[in-house]
Structure 1
Amino acid sequence: MKKIIIVVAVFIGVTACKVNPFTGQKTLNFYPNSQIFPSAFAQYDQFLSENKVVKGTADAQMITKVGQRISAAAERWLSANGYPGYLKDYKWEYHLVDDKTVNAWCMPGGKIVFYTGILPICQGETGVAVVMGHEVAHALADHGAQRMSAGTLQQLGAVAGNVAISDPNKRNLFNQAYGIGSQVGVMLPFSRGHETEADRIGLQIMAIAGYNPYEAAELWKRMKAQSGGDSPPEFMSTHPSNDTRINNLTAWAPLAEEEAAKFGVTKFN
């Protein structure tokens, strides 16, 4: 099994060829936008057709307003840091859906949905900007394509193990060990890393858009209170714990404020 993990690790190193503009680091991503975006756009349109989209209300208008400000701030940062045209294939859309679920998401290419259930926790425009910045950051950093790439490698590792091991009993043991090991040891940390990265990028972008980055930790305190502390251990979760996020956002807020000042933003909404 160690040999298989080494082979997969080497393959990851070879295929990690796209650079994240916000971190300067190479990422695991071998699915181009031209392949990902059309499918994401079609799925988004289908989702909207099957759900109750809220239109014309103050809340719906707020979602669009905040989304436009966040995406414009992202474009300003990217252009100023040597990535003009990075967003040329993005087709931004922002919709509010009538659903009590406490959630929001952004598909590759900039297709965003907020559920009405998250608005009471947001408590207004700045709270929406915290969530919007985080979701937009997932799209900016190509996290969707990276997850697909990691999933493909996970499957390749399983196939390689099953081909290499001829004994049925040993193969069953491998599958059990590989399934748990790759999930807990690789996939879940990979996902948590994306969430942490999106928190940091989103905080920076919301500040450039004119929203107070110090409010991000306050939103996650409300998220923690809403959950009642009922969550799995962090190492078993796709997301960092609420306390980890609160601590991170508190520490990063001054840095986001400094970044915003570079763009002439010294006062926040």
Structure 2
Amino acid sequence: MKNITLLFFVVLTLVACAKSPTGRSQFIIVGAEQMSKMGIESFDNMKQEQPVSTDKKLTAYVQCVADPILKVLPAEWQNDWEIVVFDSEQINAFALPGRKIGVYTGILQVTENADQLAAIVGHEVGHVIANHGAERVSQGTAAQKIAQGVSVLTKGSEYHKEISAGLGIGAQYGVLMPFSRLHESEADVLGLQYLMLAGYKPEESQKLWQNMAKVGGKRQMEILSTHPAPETRINNLGKHIKKYRAQGIKPLFKRAACSK
């Protein structure tokens, strides 16, 4: 089982063919155009299946908060974003390939101010810019192919069932979940950069996760979770706030005030 898990890591390392904005090697076998098409189709379906907020003031507030974030993105990413506010109690927001951003009204009950909402938007946009969607699709595809290959190789073996089952567990907890936590942490620090460049208060990103911890209920052990624990995120954000300030990251412009 250890050898199979190690093989999975080796394969991912050898075929890594891209770099994230933080310089991390990525395994990506899905094209940007394909991911963009998938994202647009998914977003269009969501707009048909889920209620879109008709509160114009609230929609204008979300757009006002997001605009400065989008303005400081790398030049090739600054335009053509669509933002939709979904009328739902879900405490969530997302961004999809194809430059689509969805914000649920439930998250607006947790974000106490524009700075905290900007931290959410920056984080979600960071996922798209870092190509995390394509990376996750590629990892899942590779895990499936390797599992199929091992199943064929061990067919007829006394331990065929155990090896096949163990491979699934090894891939899930040994690779896929840690990569998901890595994606979340990477999106946090990318979003923090955008937050600071756009003139928002970076410390509010830490307060946001304090708020999220209060509404999250009982949580799994971090090693069994797809997301870092709030305490881990808060500490990591604190380290990067100090790092970015030492590097001299400052607002690129004076942003407009946004109010609900």
Is the structural similarity TM-score above 0.5? yes
Corresponding residue for residue 18 of structure 1: 18
Letter in structure 1 aligned against 2:224: M
Corresponding residue for residue 155 of structure 2: 166
- Residue 235 (structure 2) pairs with residue 247 (structure 1): yes
- Residue 224 (structure 2) pairs with residue 236 (structure 1): yes
Name the structure, 1 or 2, with higher relative contact order (CA <8 Å, separation 6+). 2
- Residue 170 (structure 2) pairs with residue 181 (structure 1): yes
2:73 is paired with a residue whose SS is: helix
Q: Percent identity?
A: 33
Corresponding residue for residue 70 of structure 1: 69
Provide the C-alpha distance between the structure 1 equivalents of 2:45 and 2:255, rounded to a whole number of angstroms: 40
Following TM superposition, by how much is the alpha carbon of 1:142 offset from its aligned partner in structure 2, in angstroms? Answer: 0.3
CA gap of 1:262–1:249, structure 2 versus 1, over 3 A, is closer
Within a 5 Å distance, the mapping from 1:73-222 to structure 2 comes to 73-75=72-74, 79=75, 85=76, 87=77, 91-167=80-156, 169-222=158-211
Letter in structure 1 aligned against 2:42: Q
1:38 is paired with a residue whose SS is: helix
- Work out whether residues 103 and 114 of structure 1, in 8 Å CA contact, stay in contact via their aligned partners in 2: yes
2:180 is paired with a residue whose SS is: helix
CA gap of 1:66–1:258, structure 2 versus 1, over 3 A, is farther
Residues 38-72 of structure 1, C-alpha deviation per residue, up to 9 Å, x if partnerless?
12101101111111111452221121122222121
1:122 is paired with a residue whose SS is: coil
Provide the C-alpha distance between the structure 2 equivalents of 1:172 and 1:225, rounded to a whole number of angstroms: 42
The number of residue pairs the alignment matches comes to 257
Provide the C-alpha distance between the structure 2 equivalents of 1:144 and 1:116, rounded to a whole number of angstroms: 24
2:85 is paired with a residue whose SS is: strand
Corresponding residue for residue 8 of structure 1: 8
1:35 is paired with a residue whose SS is: helix
Letter in structure 2 aligned against 1:161: V
CA gap of 1:226–1:6, structure 2 versus 1, over 3 A, is closer
CA gap of 1:169–1:117, structure 2 versus 1, over 3 A, is farther
Residues 168-203 of structure 1, C-alpha deviation per residue, up to 9 Å, x if partnerless?
651110122111111111111010000000011101
Provide the C-alpha distance between the structure 2 equivalents of 1:69 and 1:110, rounded to a whole number of angstroms: 15
- Work out whether residues 102 and 116 of structure 1, in 8 Å CA contact, stay in contact via their aligned partners in 2: yes
- Work out whether residues 210 and 268 of structure 1, in 8 Å CA contact, stay in contact via their aligned partners in 2: no
Output the aligned Cα RMSD: 2.3
- Work out whether residues 106 and 135 of structure 1, in 8 Å CA contact, stay in contact via their aligned partners in 2: yes
Structure 1 window deviating more from structure 2 (32-41 vs 133-142): it is 32-41
- Work out whether residues 98 and 116 of structure 1, in 8 Å CA contact, stay in contact via their aligned partners in 2: yes
| TM-score of the two chains, using structure 2 as the length reference | 0.90
Letter in structure 2 aligned against 1:239: H
What are structure 2's unaligned runs of at least 5 residues? none
CA gap of 1:263–1:224, structure 2 versus 1, over 3 A, is closer
What are structure 1's unaligned runs of at least 5 residues? 80-84
Corresponding residue for residue 212 of structure 2: 223
- Residue 50 (structure 2) pairs with residue 51 (structure 1): yes
Following TM superposition, by how much is the alpha carbon of 1:233 offset from its aligned partner in structure 2, in angstroms? Answer: 0.4
| TM-score of the two chains, using structure 1 as the length reference | 0.88
Provide the C-alpha distance between the structure 1 equivalents of 2:61 and 2:134, rounded to a whole number of angstroms: 29
Letter in structure 2 aligned against 1:109: G
CA gap of 1:205–1:95, structure 2 versus 1, over 3 A, is same
* 4+ residue runs over 6 A deviation: 266-269
Residues 197-234 of structure 1, C-alpha deviation per residue, up to 9 Å, x if partnerless?
00111011111111111111011101111124x11000
